[in-house]
Amino acid sequence: MRLAGKVALITGAASGIGRACAHRFAREGCRVVLADRDEATGRAAAAELGEPHLFVTLDVTQEAAWAAAVARTVEAFGRLDILVNSAGIGIGGDIETATLASWRLVHAVNSDGTFLGCRAVFAPMKACGGGSIINMSSVAGLVGDPDLPAYCASKGAVRLLTKSVALHAARQGYGIRCNSLHPSFVQTPMVDRMIATAKDPDKARKQIERAAPLGRIGEADDVATAAVFLASDESKFVTGSELVVDGGTTAR
């Protein structure tokens, strides 16, 4: 019960890493608001957890929707201690083939969405005397990928947004911490789609499995357990940091 008494808002909670965080947080005693733009899948994910956990529809690119999701969380549970910004998208295409429209869409969700989320939770977290914001970056926010320029740039933005938010909160003495998480390939629907649309899906899967020195693809729960640490008071001296969960991928 490492998160007992706490309330978390988790975006992208209908699927993959966000969903795994919702499950893991609930098991640690946290009351969870699952947020996603995919209403049907999100409601089903929340129903799996049962009461008191609940679902809110949220498109993270919409400022007004953020205000409504935060208000619903505080209305339901009276507080907000943890935000996990996990909603994200990736669109392939090297710098010669990527379009401005795809660049803007990736940034709208990954960077603008994370910015809006960080801003939206400050008031309720200040009212609680502190909180923990966890921003889902990626190893693609640390090193480049020739086929994902927009994704890498957006995840790099998340990494430094995180440090700026952390420093502001520290300077103000709010008790709000902000850290980024950097997974490598994790077995989720996002990666399934990437493999399915590759020229040679079998080859793509094998490459992904071989990418990490630990010799396997990550599990969503590998990331969720790291998120529990950042969300809990165990990490009370950790802010502005980047926690890499990549099976050693970026160590070489």
Binding site for ligand NAD (CB under 6 A): 11-12, 14-18, 36-38, 58-61, 86-89, 109, 113, 136, 138, 183, 185-186, 188-191
Closest to ligand NAD by CB, 135 vs 235, is 135
Cα pseudo-dihedral 39, 84, 189, 37, rounded to 10: 20
List all residues 6 or more positions away from 94 whose beta carbon is below 8 Å from its beta carbon.
146, 147, 149
Closest to ligand NAD by CB, 17 vs 30, is 17
| For residue 52, cis peptide bond before it (omega within 30 degrees of 0) | yes
Which residue out of 25, 115, 151, 185 is catalytically annotated? 151
Closest to ligand NAD by CB, 91 vs 238, is 91
Check if the beta carbon of residue 132 is closer than 8 Å to that of residue 81: yes
CA distance 87 to 110: 7
Residue of 120, 117, 122, 235 whose CA lies nearest to 179: 235
Closest to ligand NAD by CB, 146 vs 173, is 146
Check if the beta carbon of residue 4 is closer than 8 Å to that of residue 29: yes
Question: Closest distance between ligand NAD and the C-beta of residue 172, in Å?
Answer: 27
> Which one-letter DSSP state was computed for residue 21?
H
Check if the beta carbon of residue 155 is closer than 8 Å to that of residue 110: yes
Instruction: Record the tokens describing residue 142, joined without a space.
Output: 């640390």
Which residues make beta-bridge pairs with 134?
84, 179
Question: Closest distance between ligand NAD and the C-beta of residue 129, in Å?
Answer: 28
Instruction: Record the tokens describing residue 221, joined without a space.
Output: 């729960």
Question: Closest distance between ligand NAD and the C-beta of residue 241, in Å?
Answer: 17
Instruction: Record the tokens describing residue 10, joined without a space.
Output: 């988790």
Q: Is 151 one of the annotated active-site residues of the chain?
A: yes
Closest to ligand NAD by CB, 88 vs 149, is 88
Provide the 10 A C-beta neighbour count for residue 200.
Answer: 10
Question: Closest distance between ligand NAD and the C-beta of residue 164, in Å?
Answer: 19
Question: Closest distance between ligand NAD and the C-beta of residue 72, in Å?
Answer: 15
Residues tagged active-site? 151
